Amino acid sequence: MAHTNTEHEVLAVVFQVRQGEAPGARRKPALHVLLWQRALDPERGKWSLPGGRLGADEDLTSSVRRQLAEKVDLRQVAHLEQLAVFSAPDRVPGPRTIASTFLGLVPSPATPELPPDTRWHPVSDLPPMAFDHGPMVEHAHNRLVAKLSYTNIGFALAPGEFALSTLRDIYSAALGHPVDATNLQRVLERRHVITRTGTTARSGRSGGRPAALYRFADSRYRVTDEFAALRPPG
């Protein structure tokens, strides 16, 4: 059995919940993914996940962090975890390259500076994707949905302090279905995932009761309830 040298690359699927950019319309926040547009062949003009070749003395995680630093302020990336490996021999042209994919999460209010070729795209409406990067996004999204149920991973999408309605919007965007703020509160409080700060937000210009502010109890990834579920309505 011949062993040619294989390249190894890492690719990151970085998500953030952001307001849509429709100016007039009522903009609901939606889940977005960070992509850059290829200026050169192959697959010129199509959109790619950030990443690149693995360095000699790096493990995968260090490599992702290094490569992401070229696109976003790393301090904004609150969570990073390994996903699947894509290894089809012909998945990219040129030397045989194995790709390890990662899931990255950026909290909501942050708006990192982006290079000119790089943009946030709504996950529900992806542009033409290079190579096998489309399925990678899908895979990452599935993982995110699953982990929102049974871990505290929401901390990596939410601001430091937030009203419950804000958190509901974030969960709703990430899960892809409506979420009841009432129940979200009880579920997350019972598991001690979120706690009240004691302070309240000010009401908007149209009035309304001021919202109590919450924060995530832990800002480190934790499995909170192995058997929990946030089910879609109906």
Partner DNA sequence: GCAAAAGTGTTGAGCTTACACCCATGT
Partner DNA sequence: ACATGGGTGTAAGCTCAACACTTTTGC
Instruction: Give whichever of 21 and 138 is closer to its own copies, judged by the CB atom.
Output: 138
Binding residue (CB under 7 A) for DNA from 153, 187, 193, 194: 187
CB atoms within 10 A of CB 64: 28
145 binds DNA (CB under 7 A): no
CB atoms within 10 A of CB 54: 21
Binding residue (CB under 7 A) for DNA from 31, 164, 174, 193: 164
**Could you tell me if 55 and 133 are in contact, meaning their C-beta atoms sit under 8 angstroms apart?**
no
Binding residue (CB under 8 A) for its own copies from 44, 85, 186, 192: 85
Q: Tell me how far, at minimum, the Cβ of 25 lies from DNA, in Å.
A: 15
Alpha-carbon gap, residue 147 to 141, rounded angstroms: 10
**Could you tell me if 33 and 48 are in contact, meaning their C-beta atoms sit under 8 angstroms apart?**
no
Residue 175 binds which of DNA, its own copies, none (CB < 5-8 A, kind-dependent): none
How far from 195 is each of 152, 160, 209, 222, CA to CA, in Å? Answer: 12, 12, 19, 15
Site for its own copies in 45-84 (CB under 8 A): 53-61, 82, 84
Instruction: Give whichever of 32 and 143 is closer to its own copies, judged by the CB atom.
Output: 143
Alpha-carbon gap, residue 168 to 163, rounded angstroms: 9
215 binds its own copies (CB under 8 A): no
Alpha-carbon gap, residue 78 to 41, rounded angstroms: 33
Instruction: Give whichever of 146 and 199 is closer to its own copies, judged by the CB atom.
Output: 146
Q: Tell me how far, at minimum, the Cβ of 217 lies from its own copies, in Å.
A: 23
Amino acid (one-letter) located at 51: G
Residues at the interface with DNA (CB under 7 A)? 163-165, 180-183, 185-187, 190, 200, 202-212, 225, 228-231, 233-234
